[in-house]
Amino acid sequence: MSDGMKVLIVEDDPNICDLLQLYLEKEGYNVIQSFDGEEGLAKYYEENPDFVILDIMLPKVDGWEVCQEIRDDRDIPLLMLTGKGESYDKVKGLELGADDYVVKPFDPKEIIARMKAILRRTNPHLNSHENIDFPQLLINMKEFKVFRKSKDINLPPKELELLYFLASQPNQVFTRQQLLEKIWGFDYEGDVRTIDVHIKRIREKLGDELPYWSLKTIRGVGYKFEVNLGV
C-alpha cells in the first residue's frame, strides 16, 4: 500500500517533521516536508502528493485554510494534527473534509496506523461493485459515482461508502458505532459524531429528499436509508 506513495507533511516543528519522516520512510513512503501553510500549499501543487499530514497551528496560512484549499482542489487523504483537544476543533476539521484527526503529543506508530486505516477506507476498490438504483438516485460503485436526478454528485470516498452501505441495506437501522466499525474499521478511535458530520454533508449534497427514499435519523439510535417504493 505504501510503495512509492508520496506524503506531504505540513508542520512547523522540525523535530516532529523529522520524527514522522523517519517512521514513514521505514514504511516505504516518500516524504516531503514544509514548515508553514504557504510553503505547504506551494509544495502540494508542485509535488502532487498522495497523502497530506497537516498541522492546524501554522505560520503564514493556518491549517484550516490549507485544508479548505486542498479540498477545493481534489479529494486526497488528509490527516490533521493539533495540540488542541477541544471537540470544536475536531468537528471543524471533519467538516472541512479531514479524514481523521490526531491530538499532540502522539506516538508516530499511531500516525502510521491511522494513515493505513484512512487509505483502506478511501481505496475505491471496494469488495462490492454493484450498482444501487432508486428513483432519481444511482450509486455506481464501479465508477465510484453517485447520480441524483441524472446529475453527477461529487461525494468523497468515505461519504460514498457510508451512503452505499446504508442504501444497500434499506430500512435497516444502524447505530453510529456500527457505522463507524463498518466504514472506518474496528481500529478507528474517532468520535461517533463523525457519522453525524458525514450524514449532514451527504444530505446537503443530495438535496431535497424524494418520497421514495430518504436518509432518516432514528433519535437516540442512529440512521437508516428508508425506502418506500409504494408511494
Within this chain, do residues 58 and 112 fall inside the same structural domain, yes or no? Answer: yes
Q: Does residue 30 sit in the same domain as residue 115?
A: yes
Question: Distance between CA atoms of 118 and 107, rounded to whole angstroms?
Answer: 17
Distance CA 134, CA 46 (A): 42
Q: Are residues 43 and 90 in the same domain?
A: yes
Tell me what pLDDT residue 227 has. 86
136 in the same domain as 115 = no
1 domain residue, yes or no: no
Indicate if 68 and 97 belong to the same structural domain.
yes
Task: Report whether pLDDT(142) > 80.
Answer: no
Query: Do both 142 and 190 map to the same domain?
Result: yes
What is the enclosing helix (H) or strand (E) of 202?
A: helix 193-206
Q: Do 143 and 219 share a structural domain?
A: yes
Distance CA 2, CA 151 (A): 35
Residue 59 lies in a domain: yes
Same domain, residue pair 139 and 112: no
Together in a domain, 96 and 174: no
Q: CA distances (Å), 97 to each of 2, 4, 48, 135, 185, in order?
A: 22, 25, 18, 28, 18
Where is mean pLDDT largest: 26-40, 159-173, 201-215?
26-40
The answer to whether residues 147 and 63 belong to one domain is no
Q: Which of 122, 150, 172 is the last residue in one of the domains?
A: 122
pLDDT attached to residue 229: 60
What is the number of structural domains in the chain?
A: 2
Domain's final residue, options 54, 87, 122: 122
- Domain region containing 203: 131-227
Instruction: Specify the pLDDT at position 90.
Output: 65
Single out the residue in 122, 149, 180 at which a domain terminates.
122
Identify the helix (H) or strand (E) that includes residue 201: helix 193-206
Answering whether pTM is above 0.85, one says no
**pLDDT surpassing 50 at residue 124:** no
- 126 pLDDT tier (thresholds 50, 70, 90): very low
Could you tell me if 205 and 222 lie in one domain? yes
**pLDDT exceeds 60 at position 186:** no
Same domain, 103 and 210: no
